[in-house]
Each structure stands twice: as C-alpha cells, then as structure tokens.
C-alpha cells in the first residue's frame, strides 16, 4: 500500500514532486492498494450497513469477497479502529495528530469524523495521509471530485504552496512523500503543526514491511524521537518460521507479485517485533497476533462476535485463525515506564518429544486432494486392508466421491458398492462402531445448511445404508464410540450459521437417538469442533454400563478459543462432567484444540493437527499423544515428524486412521491461505512410533499410496427398491440399427423417428484414406498447442475429476497416444476457446478440405453449432448426454469405437444429479449388474466410415475398441431458436430454457415449505412430485 522502494524525485514542490517518476518496483507496491481497497469496500458494504460508506468512492465496481476475506479484513479494520478510538478519547491538553504511513486509499479521517465526532473535536484531531506522490495525487483527485468527501474539509486549500503538500484543510492534510526521505516527511509535518506541542499516533497497516528493513527501522526510530507519540503497526510475521505451509504460501504470493515483504525476515515473531520497538525508543509496547486480538475482550465482546455470523454465514475458522496468527498487531508508546505485554508462544519445557518414523508417498497429478472428509479402514474379500477417505471438500467444491489408499505391498484393488450412500458434504463425523461398521453423522453443505441424515457403512458388504437421522441437523460436532459397544456419543456442534448445539446424544443401532441430560455443578461450555473420546467402561449390570472419557477444546460462541479439558461419566441418559486437575498451561494448550483429528490406540490417544491456542501449531506441536487412566491424564508427549523425512504437511481438515499393524496414516488436508492461495497437504504420511508395540514386529514400515477414486452414485429410494425386487440377471443390450440413405428426405424421416441410427456408405471425403496420427501431426503441426484430458485410470469421470487438463504440442500428444497413454482430445476453438464454439474449418484449416458433410445430411450443415475433432487413446468417456437438445452426427474416421446409448426416459435410473449432464456410473463395469435393470441400452460399434446419428437427450458413453480413434462430431440445432437457453453456449451444453426456468420454480416451491414441520414438507412435496410425474407421462400438449 505505502511507499517502500527507492525512487527518483524532481522538485520538492508538489507540482512536480515526483509524479510519474516512481520506478516500476514502487508502482508494483502501489498496486497492492488496488486489491486491498476492493476487499475493504466489500467489508464496508456488508458489515457496516448503517453508516456512511467512504471506500466506495475509491472502487470503480463493487466485488463481494469470499467470507474468509471479508472476515479477515473486517478484523484488520476493526482493531485499527479501536486503537484510533482509544487514542482520540484519551484526555490530553495537546492536539492529536494521526499520521497514516502508506495510507493508500484508506478513509480513516472520514470514518473517525463519522464515528467519533465528539472525540475528534475535543482532541482537536488532525489527520495526515502520507504515501507516494503518485498515489496521493490520485487520492486528491477522488476527494476533490466527491461531494461526500470534500464537504467535510473546511478551509480547504486544493493547491497548497508548502512543499510536498497536495491538499490542506483545517483538520486534514495529504502529503506526497517517499517514506525513505524522513527529513522531507518531518519538514512536511512541521509545516502543518507544531511538532513539539502535539501527540502523534502513527499507523502503518501492511506498509513499511515493503521497505528495506533498515529503512523501515529508521522510520520507527524517527517517530519515537519526534515528540510524544504512539505507533500502531500491523504487518505479517512468521511465528513458526518460513517453512510453515501458511508462511510459505504467503511469502511466495508476495514474491510472485514482485512485492516481497521484508520485515518478516528480521522480525518473524511477536517477541522480535516487540524488541524491535523497545530498542528504538518505545519503552511501552503491547504486541499480539491478530488471532489473539480476535479473542481479546479489549476489541470484541461475545455479542459483537456473534453478530458477525448474522451478517454472513462463516465456517472457515481454521483458515481465519492461521491468517490471524501470521499478522502482528503492535501498539507502542514512547512515554511511561518500561513495560510490555506480549502474547507469545509458551516455551517448550516439560513435555517429552518423541520422534516418529515416517514413510511418505506422493500421488501422481492431483489425486487425493481432499479436506474435511472422513477416513476409515476396510478389508477386501482376500483380507487385504484398505483406507477409504470419503466426501469432504475438493479443489473447488464438495465431493460426492472417495479415494482408496493401499499399502505398497497390496496387489489387489477394492470393489465398493457405489450405488446409494451419503451425498456430498463436509464437517461430518465418521465413527468406527466395530462389527456394526462406520457411522456417518450430519455434516453440512454451506455453513447455513446443516445436515441431519446418518449412514452406516458395513465393511462386509462394502455398502452404505441409511440409519436414524439426527434429531437436529449438525456439523462440526464431536462423536466417539462408547467403549467396545455399538453405541456412539455425539456432543455439541453447530446446527446453523450462528447456532451452537447444546445437545448430547447417544446413538443406538436399533433404537435410534437418545437425548442425554447433563447433571452436576460443573457444566461444559457449548462448543463446536472439539475432541470427544471415550476412555473406558464399567459394567453396572447385565444390561447397563457406565462409560467415561474426555471433552477437550473447541470454539465457543462467536468463534472464541476455549481451553476446557473436562472428564465425563455417562450412565445414559445422565452425563456428569468434572474437571481434570493438575494440568499445566503447556499441556492444556497442547490438548485443547479446534478441528483436530484423532485416533485411539489402547490407552493412548493421538491428536493430529487442528488449530491451537495461538491460532496454529508449530511443527513440534502438530501431533500430540496422551495416556489416560479413568478420569486422569497420565502422560503427555509430542510426536515429531523429522523435517528431513517428508514435505511438511498442513494438518487442517486432515483424516487419520490407525491400521491393524498399529501405524498411524494421515491423508488429506489443506487451507486457503487468505487471498494468497491454497496449500494442499500432498500424499499419505505413515507414522510409526519407535516405542510402540506393532502387531507384526518383523514388518518394516511401508507407505500407503493413492490407488483409485470412485463416486458415490445417488439414486432415488424408489429406484433402489425396484432393483431389489427384480432378478439379478444383467440387462439385455440391443444393437443400434444400421441403414443407408439416398436423399435428404430419408434422413429427415430418421430424425422424425427419434432413434439412434448408424448410417453406412456415406462419402465423408478423403479423410477416410488420409487421416492417421502421423498425417494429422504433419497437417496440424507438431508444435501446435492443444488442451487434452490426461487420465490416471481408464474410466474418466467428469464429476470426480479424475483427470486433468494438460496443454501440449500435438506431436507429443500423438506420440503418447500411440504409446498407449490415457489421453483424449476434444478440440476447442483455437482463437477464443471461452467465447466461440469449435469449428473444424476455422480451427484446423489444413484438415477442412479432407472432411465433407454429405449432401444427404444438409440439415446438419444448415443448422450447425460446432464441428469437433476428437482423438482418443485408451480411455473411456463418462456417461453424459447432449444437453442443449442438440442432435449430432458422430463420424468415425479412423479406429473403432464402442458406444452404449440410453433413451432420455432412462435418465432417472442413471444417477444424474439435478441439473447435471454427466453421471459417474461406470456403464462398462456395470453391465453384468442389476443396476441397469430398469434401463434400455443400445450398443453401437463404429468403424471407419460409419456415421452415428444421435438424437437430442440420448445419454451415451464410449470406449475404444481397436486402435486410436479419430472422429469428427457435428452438433446441430433441431428446434426453434427460442427453445434454447440464453447466454453463450460454447460447448453446446446448455439445457432447454424451459428446464432452466423449471428448476428455479422447483426451488421456489421447496423454499415455500421451509417453515413448516418436516412431516408436512415431505407429505406435500411428494404429492406435488407425483403430479409432476403424471404430467411428464402425459403425451398431450
């Protein structure tokens, strides 16, 4: 935001005081203001609706930022505002001067005049904005041209003659000055006020950190000597060093912008920042992280924090804490006795650290990128152990899929029943209930939409089955198995964006959910994201048992950290909580986590990751272990992954399991590092404690690696029931009719029938004799860049995204296809792939003359939407349909391809999500399964010269039969123009306009029932659904 790098200056007069002379490096630093001011405007509009808005005058177009960005910038703005308020309200006989060093487009003066008019008047406050002349000139123009801003500047002088002053008024000044020229800045201030008779507050919000550290220190030193002064500094720190994943992402981001942050190298911690100021004339220093400030009653009340959740649903707490932990808020005074307050890390002293053996396996490509999922172990029919990490959040959306991990010595894959099961979600719990399987409870889609459905996964059948729903929807709740029973205890969590649940419930596989009552003098704080464990049971009778365990950590109302560690004793339905004594603060901070994963091994509990007291965990504290006995914690230790053993993971949203050999396997995890990028924990980490007793002591530690991914295919309960009632005989697949045509009229009759047909004997041009991969390479050009699908397995899945888009030269693509690599090319528009549909004639002019659309198919040419070159290697295309009700002809030029086609009426049996045009159902792997029992598939084997006519809405999937497939696919519109959806349609994948409108109407209907009880909602919506189904079957208009 503010001035940092060396620039040449001309005259000291403002008329030619360096405008336009800033070097390129300085211009890049100034450009950081553009992004931050848009974020501050987003916060202003969202969080401050009842006061005048001033940032809006500096932003051309409002952009609503993501909730994490909004919450982070709100915190930045708020802590500085509180500092300003306290400064202005302190009694003083001297005038007060607020100097914003590197002000950018900040609007501190106008906000203070609006919020604290009496304090500004009583303190005779003067505000001075300081930044590069180039930036100040822009700010001056905005102020002068904006009545809402300039009207608050009495005695305005728009052309001051004093050096470096760009604008002057009774209580506001703009100074265009490079902060490295301290003497110039001091002279400018002296021309405004009597320095010796004022009290100064210098504000540096992420500004002087862009300067060379020595020069920035000179500013700190100079400000301390100016007179009575205070200094408010907000800038980045590296509390756990530069290799912490958040720190790495943050510093890399600024380096890529060519605006490196420099103070973090010399002053990476809060303690070093405090010493920095104390050594430069500031004896009274208060320093803390932004995360600490968030939890500080000096800045927020419990109620004010909770109110923020009402403004915008928010659940990015781990990322918010990491952001806050990497910024320091420092408030220094050069008066008073030597004292300081610093909220720094506790020294590691009493707790033992134990190094673990680590085996790390990195997956290929982007496989395994998943956070806030749930992991479980299961076995195949041969007894091989597998780890399944399911659901959660992927790179851009919640995932309805799962990843399978195998040990490196395991040869066989895992066959899971993917039909049915939980829908995509995150922040759920997955609890091992022994022989009953794994219980999945709750979760959420958005932070405002908690889920209440529950599922059991049975390892024997590898199948999900629905079970009793939660009495209230929950996410971020805590769950544990009760001893070795088939019962589970659930505590706390959130039931909505701002509602924390006080429910304590026991799950029984035959009886459903039992609400428990908390009795006793000691009551736990209602929290979410806590750790809940059961440490044992005591049998009280043949039918009753008492269970006991611990509740640790979590966040309370408004997202405040808690340090509670409590023991509990459950004799259902009564649960009694008690304190855990004799725990030092270091132990409490290590164990009271938010969002941690954990596993139990006998008497030991291993806590993995999450967020700690300081908003992060150091490498040393990331993994902790404690042993327990009854309601006592016996021993606590740290488990350390040596720095040289594997890439450092970010253990946020990670999944952890304990294998039957006693190893600990950590997979997944990631965090969005504010606006600076996302860090993903790569691969699988297998940990073994040297002191642990392994089941097979002879077995060396073997890594677990990504093996495969799959989709949990959703289908209605009615369809599942129909399948169960039918025989298990595989469905019959009939061949598509083959025919030849001799006129345009004969093709029109085929179109009227609405069935797929393979047309034989048509003249497609010389492409049939010419087109090989070698010919295409020469004609297109070996270096011509194309975007291809690069798959890791034979079956590509558009929903699970088990492939990546790769740009490569066509020659390289052709060589790799010939070699057998799993590549697929669906050509895009060469000049404007985002705006224009593909055209063989325009995109590949050297091939255009080779391919001819026969005259019998003139309707295709006359109504053409796109003509696409398709080249495929050894991969299967996912099941999809031509959504924009566009018909198409698929012209096979070289190689052979097998297609399986389904009529539009089969769509409800093929696991298409609402609004989706692709399904994850593996057709080629399901033909011997009753899954397709209610379907009516057709099969088309296409050889060179065959043309498949595919009517609109027919669902289809494809696999290569022989050689590399080369084809041209021509899409054409067969309905009136006003039938189609509006907007750009580059890929031909828009649905009918009526369907788009209908989906919106369905949402409106569903929303109308949100305020009635669930029983009423289900009753009436099902009746409406029945009416709609009857209308769908009605052939009339």
Query: 16 or 145: whose pLDDT is higher?
Result: 145
What is the spatial distance between Cα 596 and Cα 478, in angstroms, rounded to a whole number? Answer: 10
Query: 338 or 428: whose pLDDT is higher?
Result: 428
What is the pLDDT of the chain when averaged over all its residues? 87
Q: What angle do CA 430, 435, 440 make, to 5 degrees?
A: 20
Q: What is the pLDDT of residues 417-468, one digit of tens each?
A: 666 789 999 999 999 999 899 999 999 999 999 999 999 999 888 889 999 9
Query: 643 or 79: whose pLDDT is higher?
Result: 79
Token pair listed for 72: 């982070």
Q: Which long-range contacts (CB under 8 A, 24 or more apart) does 818-821 make?
A: 818/773, 818/964, 820/873, 820/874, 821/790, 821/873, 821/874
Of the ranges 323-332, 727-736, 893-902, which one carries the lowest mean pLDDT score? Answer: 727-736
What is the spatial distance between Cα 394 and Cα 404, in angstroms, rounded to a whole number? Answer: 15
* DSSP letters for 680-732: E--SEEEEE-TTSPPSSTTSPP--EEEEEEEE-B---HHHHHHHHHS--PPPP
- 1034 confidence band (pLDDT: 50, 70, 90): low
Mean pLDDT (whole number) for 175-198: 95
Burial class of residue 642 (count of CB atoms within 10 Å of its CB; 0-12, 13-18, 19+): exposed
* Angle, in degrees to the nearest 10, between helices 24-47 and 302-311: 90
Q: What is the DSSP letter of 213?
A: H
Mean pLDDT (whole number) for 647-663: 94
Q: Closest by alpha carbon to 706, among 386, 376, 379?
A: 386
The SS3 of residue 529 is: coil
Count the neighbouring beta carbons within 10 Å of the beta carbon of residue 233: 26
Token pair listed for 748: 């029109």
Task: Confirm if 802 and 369 have CB atoms less than 8 A apart.
Answer: no
Mean pLDDT (whole number) for 560-588: 91
| pLDDT score of 168 more than 90 | yes
Token pair listed for 962: 């022989």
| pLDDT score of 1036 more than 80 | no
Q: Closest by alpha carbon to 199, among 351, 314, 334?
A: 334
| pLDDT score of 262 more than 60 | yes
Phi then psi dihedrals of residue 780, to 5 deg: -80, -35
- 718 confidence band (pLDDT: 50, 70, 90): very low
- 979 confidence band (pLDDT: 50, 70, 90): low
What is the spatial distance between Cα 989 and Cα 917, in angstroms, rounded to a whole number? Answer: 8
How much is the pLDDT for 894? 93
Phi then psi dihedrals of residue 635, to 5 deg: -145, 140
Most confident of 448-457, 577-586, 985-994: 448-457
| pLDDT score of 982 more than 60 | no
How much is the pLDDT for 603? 84
Q: Closest by alpha carbon to 527, among 494, 556, 498?
A: 556
Mean pLDDT (whole number) for 908-912: 76
Rounded-to-10 torsion of CA 241, 242, 244, 250 = 130
What is the spatial distance between Cα 513 and Cα 579, in angstroms, rounded to a whole number? Answer: 27
The SS3 of residue 990 is: coil
How much is the pLDDT for 985? 47
How much is the pLDDT for 960? 85
- How do strand 429-432 and strand 545-552 relate by DSSP bridges? unpaired
Q: Closest by alpha carbon to 2, among 41, 39, 28?
A: 28
Q: Tell me what percent of the residues of the chain surpass a pLDDT of 70.
A: 87
Token pair listed for 390: 């399911």
Q: What angle do CA 735, 737, 739 make, to 5 degrees?
A: 150
How much is the pLDDT for 1024? 85
What is the spatial distance between Cα 42 and Cα 68, in angstroms, rounded to a whole number? Answer: 12
* DSSP letters for 84-119: HHHHHHS--SS-EEEEEET-TT--HHHHHHHH-HHH
Q: What is the pLDDT of residues 24-68, one digit of tens each?
A: 777 888 878 888 999 999 999 999 999 999 999 999 989 999 999
Dihedral angle sign, alpha carbons of residues 959, 962, 968, 972: negative
How much is the pLDDT for 702? 84
Query: 764 or 794: whose pLDDT is higher?
Result: 764
Q: Closest by alpha carbon to 601, among 626, 583, 621, 622?
A: 626
- 338 confidence band (pLDDT: 50, 70, 90): low
- How do strand 96-101 and strand 126-131 relate by DSSP bridges? parallel
Q: What is the pLDDT of residues 872-896, one digit of tens each?
A: 988 888 777 654 468 899 999 999 9
Q: How far is CA 188 from CA 12, 174, 178, 194, 852, in A?
A: 11, 10, 12, 11, 77
**Residues whose CB is less than 8 angstroms from the CB of residue 914 and which lie 6 or more positions away in sequence, other chains included:** 999
**Residues whose CB is less than 8 angstroms from the CB of residue 357 and which lie 6 or more positions away in sequence, other chains included:** 645, 687, 688, 689, 690, 701
What is the spatial distance between Cα 170 and Cα 154, in angstroms, rounded to a whole number? Answer: 6
Q: What is the pLDDT of residues 110-139, one digit of tens each?
A: 999 999 999 999 999 999 999 999 999 999
Dihedral angle sign, alpha carbons of residues 986, 992, 995, 1000: positive
| pLDDT score of 5 more than 80 | no
- 156 confidence band (pLDDT: 50, 70, 90): very high
Token pair listed for 533: 């464990």
What is the spatial distance between Cα 295 and Cα 351, in angstroms, rounded to a whole number? Answer: 26
**In which region does residue 610 sit, left (phi positive, over 0), alpha (psi from -120 to 50) or beta (all else)?**
left
What is the spatial distance between Cα 332 and Cα 328, in angstroms, rounded to a whole number? Answer: 12
- How do strand 504-508 and strand 955-973 relate by DSSP bridges? unpaired
Token pair listed for 309: 């959740």
Is the link from the previous residue into 573 a cis peptide, with omega within 30 of 0?
Answer: yes
Query: 979 or 721: whose pLDDT is higher?
Result: 979
Mean pLDDT (whole number) for 629-653: 87
What is the spatial distance between Cα 541 and Cα 538, in angstroms, rounded to a whole number? Answer: 9
Q: What angle do CA 203, 205, 207 make, to 5 degrees?
A: 105
How much is the pLDDT for 783? 94
Q: What is the pLDDT of residues 463-513, one digit of tens each?
A: 899 999 999 999 999 999 999 999 999 999 999 888 999 999 999 999 999
**pTM (two decimals):** 0.75
Q: If you search the block for the tokens 């007793």, which residue do you land on? A: 693
What is the spatial distance between Cα 654 and Cα 632, in angstroms, rounded to a whole number? Answer: 28
| pLDDT score of 280 more than 60 | yes
Beta sheet of 664-667, edge-to-edge order: 357-361, 684-688, 664-667, 655-658
How much is the pLDDT for 346? 46
Task: Confirm if 535 and 557 have CB atoms less than 8 A apart.
Answer: no
**Residues whose CB is less than 8 angstroms from the CB of residue 561 and which lie 6 or more positions away in sequence, other chains included:** 295, 555, 592, 594, 611, 613
Q: Tell me what percent of the residues of the chain surpass a pLDDT of 90.
A: 62
Of the ranges 79-83, 634-638, 716-720, which one carries the lowest mean pLDDT score? Answer: 716-720
């Amino acid at each position: 935001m503010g001035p940092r790098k060396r620039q040449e200056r001309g005259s000291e007069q403002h008329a030619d005081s360096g405008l336009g002379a800033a070097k390129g490096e300085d211009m890049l630093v100034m450009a950081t203001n553009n992004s931050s001011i848009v974020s501050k405007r987003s916060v202003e509009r969202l969080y401050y609706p009842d006061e005048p808005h001033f940032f809006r005058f500096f932003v051309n177009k409002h952009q609503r930022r993501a909730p994490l960005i909004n919450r982070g910038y709100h915190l930045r703005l708020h802590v500085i505002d509180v500092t300003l308020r306290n400064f202005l309200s302190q009694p003083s006989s001297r005038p007060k001067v607020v100097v914003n060093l590197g002000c950018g487009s900040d609007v501190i003066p106008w906000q203070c005049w609006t919020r604290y008019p009496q304090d500004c008047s009583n303190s005779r406050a003067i505000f001075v904005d300081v930044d590069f002349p180039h930036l100040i000139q822009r700010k001056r123009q905005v102020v002068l041209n904006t009545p809402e801003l300039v009207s608050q500047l009495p005695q305005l002088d728009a052309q001051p003659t004093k050096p470096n002053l760009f604008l002057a008024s009774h209580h506001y000044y703009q100074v265009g000055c490079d902060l490295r020229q301290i003497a110039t800045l001091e002279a400018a201030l002296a021309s405004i006020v009597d320095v010796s008779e004022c009290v100064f507050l210098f504000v540096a919000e992420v500004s002087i950190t862009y300067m060379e550290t020595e020069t920035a220190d000179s500013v700190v030193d100079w400000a301390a000597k100016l007179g009575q002064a205070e200094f408010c500094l907000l800038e980045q720190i590296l509390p756990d060093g530069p290799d912490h994943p958040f720190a790495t992402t943050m510093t890399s981001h600024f380096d890529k912008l060519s605006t490196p942050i420099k103070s973090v190298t010399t002053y990476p911690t809060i303690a070093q920042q405090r010493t920095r100021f104390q050594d430069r004339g500031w004896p009274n220093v208060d320093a803390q992280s932004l995360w600490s400030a968030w939890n500080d009653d000096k800045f927020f009340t419990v109620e004010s924090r909770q109110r923020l959740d009402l403004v915008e649903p928010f659940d990015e707490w781990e990322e918010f804490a990491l952001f806050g932990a990497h910024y320091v808020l420092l408030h220094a005074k050069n008066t008073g006795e030597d004292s300081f307050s610093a909220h720094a890390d506790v020294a590691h002293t009493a707790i033992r650290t134990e190094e673990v053996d680590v085996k790390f396996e990195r997956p290929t490509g982007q496989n395994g990128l998943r956070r806030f999922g749930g992991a479980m172990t299961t076995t195949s029919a041969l007894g091989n152990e597998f780890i399944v990490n399911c659901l959660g959040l992927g790179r851009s959306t919640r995932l309805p899929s799962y990843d399978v991990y195998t040990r490196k010595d395991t040869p066989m894959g895992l066959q899971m029943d993917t039909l049915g099961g939980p829908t995509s979600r995150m922040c759920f719990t997955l609890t091992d209930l022994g022989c009953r399987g794994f219980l999945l409870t709750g979760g959420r889609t958005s932070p405002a939409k908690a889920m209440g459905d529950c599922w059991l996964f049975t390892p024997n059948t590898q199948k999900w089955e629905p079970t009793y729903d939660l009495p209230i929807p929950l996410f971020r709740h805590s769950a544990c198995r009760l001893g070795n029973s088939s019962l589970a205890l659930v505590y706390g969590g959130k039931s909505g964006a701002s509602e924390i649940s006080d429910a304590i419930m026991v799950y029984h596989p035959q009886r459903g959910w039992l609400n428990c009552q908390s009795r006793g003098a000691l009551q736990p704080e209602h929290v979410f994201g806590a750790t809940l464990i059961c440490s044992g049971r005591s049998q009280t009778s043949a039918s009753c048992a008492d269970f006991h365990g611990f509740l640790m950590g979590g966040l309370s109302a408004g997202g405040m950290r808690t340090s509670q560690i409590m023991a509990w004793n459950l004799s259902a339905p009564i649960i009694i909580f008690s304190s855990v004594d004799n725990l030092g603060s270091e132990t409490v901070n290590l164990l009271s986590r938010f969002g941690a994963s954990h596993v139990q091994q006998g008497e030991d509990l291993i806590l993995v990751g999450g967020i700690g007291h300081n908003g992060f965990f150091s490498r040393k504290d990331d993994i902790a272990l404690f042993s327990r006995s009854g309601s006592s914690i016996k021993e606590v230790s740290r488990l350390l992954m040596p720095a040289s053993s594997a890439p450092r993971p970010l253990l946020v949203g990670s999944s952890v399991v304990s294998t039957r050999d006693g190893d600990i396997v950590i997979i997944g995890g990631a965090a969005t590092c504010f606006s600076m990028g996302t860090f993903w924990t790569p691969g699988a980490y297998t940990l073994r404690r040297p002191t642990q007793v392994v089941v097979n002591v002879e077995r060396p530690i073997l890594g677990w690696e990504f093996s495969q991914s799959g989709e949990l295919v959703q289908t209605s309960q009615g369809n599942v029931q129909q399948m169960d009632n039918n025989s298990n005989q595989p469905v019959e697949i009939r061949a598509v009719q083959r025919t030849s045509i001799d006129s345009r009229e004969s093709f029109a009759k085929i179109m009227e029938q609405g069935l797929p047909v393979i047309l034989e004997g048509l003249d497609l041009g010389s492409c049939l004799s010419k087109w090989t991969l070698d010919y295409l390479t020469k004609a297109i050009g070996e270096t011509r860049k194309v975007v291809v699908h690069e798959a890791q397995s034979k079956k590509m899945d558009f929903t699970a995204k088990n492939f990546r888009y790769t740009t490569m030269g066509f020659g390289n693509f052709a060589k790799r296809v010939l070699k057998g690599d799993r590549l697929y090319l669906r050509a895009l528009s060469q000049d404007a792939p985002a705006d224009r549909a593909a055209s063989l004639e325009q995109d590949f002019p050297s091939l255009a003359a080779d391919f001819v659309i026969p005259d019998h198919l003139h309707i295709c040419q006359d109504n053409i939407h796109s003509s696409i070159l398709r080249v495929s290697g050894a991969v299967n295309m996912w099941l999809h349909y031509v959504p924009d009700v566009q018909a198409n002809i698929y012209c096979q030029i070289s190689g052979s391809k097998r297609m399986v086609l389904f009529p539009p009426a089969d769509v409800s049996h093929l696991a298409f999500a609402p609004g989706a045009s692709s399904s994850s159902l593996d057709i080629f792997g399901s033909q011997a399964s009753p899954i397709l029992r209610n379907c009516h598939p057709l099969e088309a084997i296409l050889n060179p010269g065959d043309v498949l006519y595919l009517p609109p809405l027919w669902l289809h999937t494809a696999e290569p039969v022989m050689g590399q497939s080369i084809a041209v696919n021509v899409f054409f519109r067969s309905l009136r123009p006003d039938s189609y959806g509006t907007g750009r349609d580059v890929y031909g994948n828009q649905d009918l306009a009526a369907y788009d409108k209908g989906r919106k109407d369905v949402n409106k209907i569903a929303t109308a029932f949100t305020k009635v009880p669930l029983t009423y909602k289900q009753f009436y919506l099902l009746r409406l659904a029945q009416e709609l189904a009857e209308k769908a079957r009605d052939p009339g208009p």
